Structures are given as C-alpha cells and as structure tokens.
Amino acid sequence: MSRITLPRLCLAAAGAATAVLLTAVPAAAHTEVEADKAQALAENVTVSFHAEAESDTSGIKEVRVVLPEGIAPADVTYGEGPKGWKFSATDDGYSVKGAELKTGESAEYSVVVRQLPDAEEVPFKTLQTYGDGHVDRWIELDENGENPAPTLKLKAAAAGAKAVSPSPSASASPSPTPEKPTPTASPQAAETEKDDEGGLSAGAWTGIGAGILVAAAAVVFAVRRRGGAEE
C-alpha cells in the first residue's frame, strides 16, 4: 500500500484552491444585451443594453452601435436611457449620447426594434466613448474574445412568422417634370399652312389682283397720253 506524504497533500490542496479561485474570478467589464422577446422574426421588440463603465477617471458620454444584418437604422426607435441623452440614427446603426455620466456609472438604455432577423443570434457591435476620449470597442464576434460584441441569442421563429416589408423610405419622391405646352399656331400661320396644303393663299390671290389693276391703269394712262399728243 502506497503512502501519501504530507508535502504531496499540501500540493494537491494548493492546486485545487487555485482552480477554484480561477473559476471564481469575474469576467472583465463589457456590454450586455437582452430582449423582452428574444425570438427570430419577433416584432416590436424592446432590446435593453447595459454598458459597464471601465474607466476610473472618466464617465461614459456616448454609446454607438453597429446594427447586425437584417436590422436597418430606420427600423430602430429610442426607448429609455440616461437623463438628457439623445438618440440619433447613423448610416450603419445608431448612437445614444449626452452629458458625461459619473465615473464608474454604467450606461443603461433600450431601443425598440421593428422586427428581429431570422437568425440564431444577432451581434450588436458597440463603441463606448468616455469624457476623456477613451473608447472601449466591444466588436469581436467571438464570445470568448477579449472584446466580445454584445450578442442576443434568439429562439427559432414562431410557426407562420414572416418577415415584414422594409420600412418606407423617408426621402420624398421627386416632383414630376411638367409637360411643355404645345405651341399654338397664330391665325396667320394656320392660314398659311392650310393654303400650302391646298394651293395659293388668299393673300397671294389679293396680290395678283392688285397687280392686274395696276397694269390696267398703266395701259389706260398710256393710251390717253398718246391720244392727247396726236391732237
């Protein structure tokens, strides 16, 4: 029968204690996300975020989120957040910001998503900015990474659930270009066009008649003058 010495017992106990301490160490500060309806294709879902403060010298003043595929900025509206903070949409997501919070105070806020995508999980890459300019970047898609993005795990879509139509565009449709009015021909032009199609115009016949009268008057005048000269 083998004998266990006291030094070996001490080493075993120390190893076990070390393992317990390592598993009990809390995870580093990060941003967490949860939803009231964490299910694919669920509609009008309130998504809540808890951005934990890491800085010992400055407070959080802005949280910016890059939305996952399947959620457009137009599909997100503001719920609640720190007093005085404002919500604004960006090209790829949104930001919530305002007066700098107290040092060590976490930023908690919520948004309402029109519809969650048909996926198993949706990551919300988050950039957390402090009053001194420092930025925590919770953007890694690997949940075991050093800076994991807050990720919402979803249940399978309910039977019969369907994707809703995209949000209507906020841009107004351009006004139609007014049609140019068709120019109306003047009476003279219309008469000329008509005469060109069917023969000489009335003006042309009037000119011809006047020319004949002038020629006839000239002949009469010449005959009378000649007769006076013969007398």
Chain centroid to Cα 231, Å, comes to: 109
pLDDT of residue 36: 96
The pLDDT, as a whole number, for residue 19 is: 42
What is the tens place of the pLDDT at every residue in 102-135?
Answer: 999 999 999 999 999 999 999 999 999 999 999 9
Contacts of 145 (CB under 8 A, 6+ apart): none
Of residues 148, 129, 146, the one with CA closest to residue 33: 148
* pLDDT of the residue at 198: 44
**pLDDT score at 186:** 46
Mean pLDDT of 188-197: 44
pTM above 0.85, yes or no: no
Q: How far apart are CA 124 and CA 128, in angstroms?
A: 12
Q: What is the tens place of the pLDDT at every residue in 46-104?
A: 999 999 999 999 999 999 999 999 999 999 999 999 999 999 999 999 999 999 999 99
Give residue 35's identity as a one-letter amino acid code.
Answer: A
